Amino acid sequence: MLFVGGFAKPGEKALSLFEFNKRNGDLELISEADGGLNPSYFYYSGERGLLYVLNEVMQFNGTFSGGLTTLKYDVRSGLFEKLNEILIPYAK
């Protein structure tokens, strides 16, 4: 599985999940999700089925900060459910 993020406008699905075929090198799109604005770095906890997404932005939900979005991943369906978003304040 390969998580891919990209820069996006509000409302766009900038998080994609692909399955990698080791035999021929093909990527198959499994699902897309709203991972928040500009999902850049990921950490997946297989034990909890959670994907933590760092949002690379200057403002997050109207506040001068970055963000962290948490999504629940359903292995059977390949779909994500957004659970939470939190602010990550910039150091002064």
pLDDT tens digits, residue range 30-41?
Answer: 999 988 888 889
pLDDT tens digits, residue range 6-19?
Answer: 887 777 888 999 99
pLDDT tens digits, residue range 39-67?
Answer: 889 999 989 999 999 888 887 778 878 88
Task: Compute the distance between CA of residue 76 and CA of residue 41 in angstroms, rounded to an integer.
Answer: 24
State the pLDDT at residue 92: 65
Instruction: Please count the structural domains in the chain.
Output: 1
Mean pLDDT of 21-26: 94
What is the span of the domain harbouring residue 78?
2-89
pTM of the model: 0.81
**Backbone torsion region of residue 19, taken as left when φ is above 0, otherwise alpha when ψ lies between -120 and 50, otherwise beta:** beta
Task: Compute the distance between CA of residue 90 and CA of residue 85 in angstroms, rounded to an integer.
Answer: 16
